[in-house]
A and B are shown apart, each in its own frame.
Chain A
């Protein structure tokens, strides 16, 4: 707080507005409100929009932010989120309220503590008198020459129904405007003042609007005057910080070292592709296997592909294991392909045709007839007693595949599961890995 507050928050510059324009009256009321509320100029930011009122930032001794058309509320939100104790006052026209409508709605929904003064003169004054979202029906503007066909937006009702803490409608000529601004500033909520004005350059000459008809027009369009809404809700900028406060000081995204405790005899790059369906744990299986490889002293990469849908369609994971750093992560020809589902088979068509007699193909019984030059092994997990064989197909098949391929010990998979997964999911997955591998042991035992 300054030891000494200014006697006025206006600087010596004169307003640039047209004779009879209401903007200067609103700014004078704002000045009186800042004096009345003893605002610290260094803790006060005026955020102006584009249009004639957008020039207002130059006439005060407070901080000022003059950005792009319609975005003033969004800049003000960023300012308030960083420093929730600042007085952040948005000065915008009806034009800005229109183009920035999404920001207006969402600032109201959040109830972020901004004071928004809408200099509403029913048209675009700076660009030549075009209609705005608040032009009354029938209003004549340069773009509604035979009268506006659209209904005017009720700014106050809109923000109130969406959660604003304070909304008021009046005119630039209201004697209590400064008091209302003080109340808005003190409300610690999203506060919107819909301040009706005369645009003497365009709207007045085209529509015979006067101070008197400005008031009667409110009744014609059916919009309430005075305080339209007042509600107690948590202020968003403070609420957001409070919501996160309990996490302060926790370690943020620290490295998660994988210390090799197993060994691998792999002496070249090995490429494994798992092809299954979304929801079939393909990616989580691949992630676990990748970590297991790193726990075995290898380098690993994992690249997933999937359609934009979420719980439907294919899910494909490509894994590369190598004793050296892996540069290129694409796979043209897998050394081993695990087909878990029909969707996976369709998505892996280009891999299937690339297989050679040296390749491995691991499948479930549904693909028993699939012809391939590769060494094909069919595993039937229905015999394992694992519940939900389909759901766990990827982990079962990959566990079996790793048991056959012997790239690194299966114990590395178990270690990878234990280090990232919690009980009881970890126990369930450890059992699935054992069952998947056991099927191989049975087969090998039978000499297949």
Chain B
């Protein structure tokens, strides 16, 4: 059975099926449909949704809610991410599970509110102070809007970190036909919970019963206890020790910051996700993500029908960069027939191409190989990259 559905509805349903029970947001095109969906739907599942006074309040409320045990979602567009910025840092520091939808718009500032865009790829990566790993997923179909939203909640819970879902107007607001049976339903594993307080323990001294912040092992998020729960919980955006007490002790500060990095960086292989459509002896490898990957898929079909050999890689996790998958695709299906050209297509002027170049050139230098030519296919006029544009880049 099929349905005729837009991406925003699929994202909202993915969130509800992932157990989302809190939403705070502020109206902004093209993310507003998510606010409307969640305001309408969350009371049905016993959750709470609120239109906040501004974007700063939106993400602040989500952080407070998430630390009280909620699975929180917020949605905005690039200008709203600017206002989220400082609190994204707090969510990283406070190890807050939170899913943030960025329905991108074209260009800086108010930009093009109702045109497709992919200009926030580097912005979400580096949009807060301190410089820490970010997880960002990019659906390229309505069905993936559903499944990657579920996955975003899974990653947010498991890694206790903010997770971005990068999308845009064309993905969110356009209607598509989806086979209902083909929605993937990845599991949403809850954050690790703290053990119950020992009997007879008032639990008033977390030092004695529970460490809300744990840096051993360095690469694992600490168990969670909610505000109002069994243990006294001390949350802070300042550099802190295991008890949540402000510290400048270099050993503790070093552990904290290494922990925040390694809990994601060491587990990148559990996060990265691509859809590889590789052809043996392909001379050209197309790389894209989000809405642009749809034109890529069509172009690959057309090229093959014309007898051209071409591979296509759809990147579903922009951050962490799926380096191994990129390299494997570049080295060819057999592993020793590297492609001659890589085409990185995106609705910006080379934001993800920069990451592809970094990975491929480093590999070539390491292996003393000639790197494939890496070309960008870019568009920033508010229109989609067309299959014809892809076809022009494919080597005969």
Contact = CB atoms under 8 A, between A and B. Distances in A.
Interface of A: 2, 4, 6, 11, 41-43, 45, 47, 55, 57-58, 61-68, 71, 74-83, 85-86, 102-103, 105-106, 240-241, 243-245, 247-260, 287, 290-291, 294, 298-308, 325-330, 332
Contacts of A71: 56-57, 60, 87
Contacts of A86: 68, 227-228
> Closest 7 interchain pairs by CB?
A78-B64, A244-B43, A74-B60, A78-B61, A75-B64, A302-B175, A257-B1
- Most B CB within 10 A of own CB, among A240, A244, A259, A332: A244
Contact of B204 (A41, A249, A332): A41
Given A63-B234, A294-B4, A74 B52 contact: yes
Contact of B22 (A82, A257, A332): A82
B104 to A, nearest CB: 16
Contacts of A82: 22, 48, 64-65, 68-70
Interface stretch (B158-166, B322-330, B382-390): B382-390
Contacts of A76: 64
A330 B22 contact: no
8 contacts: A4-B202, A11-B205, A64-B244, A78-B62, A79-B65, A257-B1, A305-B114, A328-B387
B223 interface: no
B238 interface: yes
Contacts of B87: 67-68, 71
B82 interface: no
A255 B180 contact: yes
B386 A328 contact: yes
A162 B66 CA distance: 28
A78 B53 contact: no
Nearest to A87: B228
Contact of B68 (A6, A83, A106, A245): A83
B233 interface: yes
Given A66-B236, A67-B237, A79 B386 contact: no
Contacts of B276: none
Given A75-B64, A251-B44, A255-B3, 4 more contacts: A47-B64, A78-B64, A252-B42, A258-B2
B43 A248 contact: yes
A257 B56 contact: no
Interface stretch (B130-138, B256-264, B290-298, B358-366): B290-298
Contacts of A301: 174-177
Contacts of A68: 60, 86-87, 90, 237
B228 A63 contact: yes
B300 to A, nearest CB: 9
Interface stretch (B8-16, B265-273, B335-343): B8-16
A214 B252 CA distance: 42
A42 B68 CA distance: 12
Given A81-B61, A303-B170, A303-B174, A63 B233 contact: yes
Nearest to A61: B204
A260 B70 CA distance: 40
A258 B4 contact: yes
Given A2-B202, A63-B228, A257 B48 contact: no
Contacts of A2: 202
A78 B68 contact: yes
A81 B61 CA distance: 9
B298 A253 contact: no
Nearest to A298: B177
B376 to A, nearest CB: 19
A55 B65 contact: no
Interface of B: 1-5, 9, 12-13, 16, 22, 24, 29, 37, 41-46, 48, 50, 52-54, 56-57, 60-70, 72, 86-87, 90, 94, 113-114, 170, 173-177, 180, 202-205, 227-238, 244-246, 294-295, 297-298, 301, 383-384, 386-388
A63 B174 CA distance: 45
A54 B89 CA distance: 18
Contacts of A41: 202, 204, 232
A388 B180 CA distance: 38
Contact of A257 (B2, B68, B229, B232): B2
A304 B115 CA distance: 10
A304 B13 CA distance: 22
B22 to A, nearest CB: 6
A269 B318 CA distance: 31
B171 to A, nearest CB: 10
A253 B236 contact: no
A244 B245 CA distance: 38
Nearest to B180: A255
Given A75-B63, A291-B4, A240 B227 contact: no
A76 to B, nearest CB: 6
A258 B294 contact: no
Contacts of B204: 6, 41-42, 61
Contact of A330 (B37, B245, B383): B383
A328 B226 CA distance: 45
Nearest to B12: A253
A67 B297 CA distance: 45
B396 to A, nearest CB: 22
A126 B170 CA distance: 48
A252 B44 contact: yes
A304 B174 contact: yes
B60 A64 contact: no
A305 to B, nearest CB: 7
Contacts of B294: 327-329
B289 to A, nearest CB: 14
B13 A248 contact: no
Contacts of B2: 257-258, 260, 294, 299
Contact of B63 (A4, A67, A102, A298): A67
B234 A64 contact: yes
A55 B247 CA distance: 12
Question: Of residues B53, B62, B301, B383, which shows the largest number of chain A Cβ atoms within 10 Å of its Cβ?
Answer: B53
B238 A66 contact: yes
A305 B112 CA distance: 12
A101 to B, nearest CB: 10
A41 B230 CA distance: 11
Contacts of B60: 67-68, 71, 74-75, 77-78, 103
A330 B295 contact: yes
B224 to A, nearest CB: 13
A193 to B, nearest CB: 21
B68 A247 contact: no
Given A102-B53, A308-B114, A302 B228 contact: no
